[in-house]
Chain A
Amino acid sequence: MNKIINLTKANTLIKVSLLCLSFLFFQFDSYSQDTEKGKKLFKANCAACHNVGTKVVVGPGLQGVGEKHDREWLEKWIKNSGELIASGDAAANEIFNEFKKSIMPPQAVSTEDIDNILAYIANPGDGGGEIIVDGPPTGEVVEEDNSVMMYLFGGAIVLLLILIITLNKTGVFVKEVIAKDAGETYEGPTTLYGNLKKLMGDNKGIVAAIVIVLFFGGLLNLVDGAFQIGVHQGYKPEQPIKFSHKIHAGDDKIDCNYCHSSARHSKTSGIPSLNVCMNCHKAIDGSDGKTFMYNGEQYSMTEEIQKIYDHLDYNPETQEYGDNPTPVKWVKIHNLPDHVYFSHQQHVVAGKQKCQTCHGPVEEMDVVEQHAPLTMKWCIECHKETAVATEGNGYYDEMHDRMTPEFKEKVLNDGVLTVDEIGGWECAKCHY
């Protein structure tokens, strides 16, 4: 009996030592694997769903996965996780249930590839995946204080006033002394107001000239100003979330229509709802601590993206949405008067106009501003110059056929059919 126990003990000992040895070898082996190759393979095959850290992307973060599961299990899982789950493996089913019962698609990688990938996960180095940087972003955000200038200006004015009053008093005092010395009494004005009156009375010509210049200058300014009423060209408000069009439309080359998708279907181009933001920002959470420029100031990506999450009541840790979302109060920039009808759909789809025609180089603006004056003159001028996009649009073929020969001759003699020639200047086209 003892013998048997001893034998089993010895057996276990051998098994354990063998396991340890194999583990050692495996460890040793894994370091001899090519992490560079593994990195490439990881980027190509795994990075869409996994992070080398602890962050959950679609599937779990893979830090320490080599220790958590044995090599054989991992290979089975990677090559066909569905089969492993179906076989009733406890660990596999646990993961399956934790990640909303979605199966990791079978990966076409060789055993050697898996070794390389695991080596890379075990030792991602500094170039591996996203490294979460704690603490405030580099570059302090310094708020520019305009009020200092205002105070300085006000102070200077007050100082000047005091100076004028003192000078006036001294002047009067000096005059009085001179008069006393001459044995007379000073009878001129003593107050500042009186002195000013005297000065103006003595130089009537100059005063008249100043008044005339001021009057006509003012008139000119007034007329100029009247033309600016309701023309908000250059309106450039800061938005509650510091969304930079320069980064999204310019650098990343995301098409305007991706976010403003209703421009093709409706009167308004549409401010994208936050689910559109989340199509990218579920993955791009700014946790790499990068900063960006907005209106000449530096902002932290993490903080601005966190605002999206806050508005959505979204928890990036658990990737779950709460039930208390709040709307973002974006500031509307382009506003047409109530009595004008304008349809984005008509201009973008039928007219084939680029967004930039009216909105200017938005892809270069971090803060969007009103580029065009949006006055009626501006509309009318564009309608006079712009040719209708008739090519490939059957509607216009039919319209051309219906035109009387005289009218056709009249509008097409210059070879282009402009918008005003097909009713783009009719009052009721926009005002109804």
Chain B
Amino acid sequence: MKRKYLNRLSKLAIVAAVISITSCQEEGGLAPEYMPDMYRSPAVEPYVDYGELRGNYSDAKYTDKMTARQSVEGTIPRGFQPYGYENTPEGYQLAGQNLKNPMAYSEDVVKDGEELYGMMCVHCHGKTGQGDGTLVERGKFPPIPTKFAPGLVKTEGEMFHTITYGKGLMGSHASQLNQEERWKLVHFIRAKFMEEVPAIDTTAAVAVVEEVVAEVVEATEEVKETEAHGH
């Protein structure tokens, strides 16, 4: 009886040893998962392999399904303004003539623009805007013909158009920068490199200041009144 029990135990130990050896995490591989349905979302998550969902590990119908989809034709993101100029030399010209930066110029906008420039432009156009980015310096990308400098004849509209559609070797950056960000960049590049700082519209600021002053005056008068009543 005891012998039989020991026998079973040794067999169990061998099975356990085999399992523990085979279930070790492969170098650089995935770790074992317990209850993957708690881990792998059955709902549509971005970049999820549908094949990893419950029970569908080897079904090509699921593993080949694409999660990143194009939106339905005609979909417009929130806050998006349709851009009416075509990606043609004529469109470039028209945008250059008619398109103005709708974003009011301010220090904050330029600061945001600088941050964006560091992310999106600097590796080609360079820190100084002279086309001395790392990609050009390392000889990987052809030199940049446009050098942002005072006196460069480029309108706001042309710059926006170029970021939107690309020009020459520069590709379209519309998928990486929304319209607001593109205008911020235009402000930054013009202010920092081209020394074209638009005159800040002071009338609005003056109005705000006047309003605040009026409020303060009103408040102090109220306080005075209550104090007077209190006494």
Contact = CB atoms under 8 A, between A and B. Distances in A.
Contacts of B39: 230, 335, 337-338
B131 to A, nearest CB: 9
Given A101-B89, A254-B123, A267-B46, A48 B31 contact: no
A258 B20 contact: no
Given A58-B168, A58-B169, A235 B17 contact: no
A255 B142 contact: no
A99 B50 CA distance: 44
Interface string B194-214: 000000000000000000000
Contacts of A330: 47
A329 to B, nearest CB: 8
Interface stretch (B97-105, B171-179, B182-190, B216-224): B171-179
Contact of A229 (B32, B43, B140): B32
A178 interface: no
B73 to A, nearest CB: 15
Nearest to A254: B123
B135 A280 contact: yes
Contacts of A222: 20
Given A103-B89, A280-B141, A235 B28 contact: yes
Given A275-B171, A279-B173, A48 B143 contact: yes
B43 A338 contact: yes
A366 interface: no
Contacts of A229: 31-34
Interface in A277-294: 278-280, 282-284
Contact of A48 (B43, B140, B145, B176): B145
Contact of A261 (B41, B46, B176): B176
Contact of B169 (A49, A225, A253): A49
A326 to B, nearest CB: 10
Contact of B31 (A45, A101, A231, A369): A231
A315 interface: no
A235 B30 contact: yes
Given A218-B20, A252-B134, A258 B120 contact: yes
B29 A218 contact: no
Q: Which of A221, A230, A268, A284 has the most CB of B within 10 A?
A: A230
B88 to A, nearest CB: 7
Given A229-B34, A278-B171, A332 B20 contact: no
Contacts of B166: 279
B176 A338 contact: no
Interface of B: 13, 16-17, 20, 23, 25, 27-34, 38-43, 45-49, 64, 66, 68, 88-89, 118-120, 122-123, 134-135, 138, 140-145, 166, 168-173, 175-178
19 contacts: A47-B142, A48-B142, A218-B16, A229-B33, A229-B34, A230-B32, A230-B39, A231-B31, A237-B28, A252-B135, A252-B140, A255-B123, A257-B119, A261-B176, A267-B46, A275-B175, A280-B141, A283-B142, A335-B40
Interface of A: 43-45, 47-49, 57-58, 101-103, 105, 211, 214-215, 218, 221-222, 225, 228-237, 251-255, 257-258, 261, 265, 267-268, 271, 273, 275-276, 278-280, 282-284, 327, 329-330, 332, 335, 337-339, 369
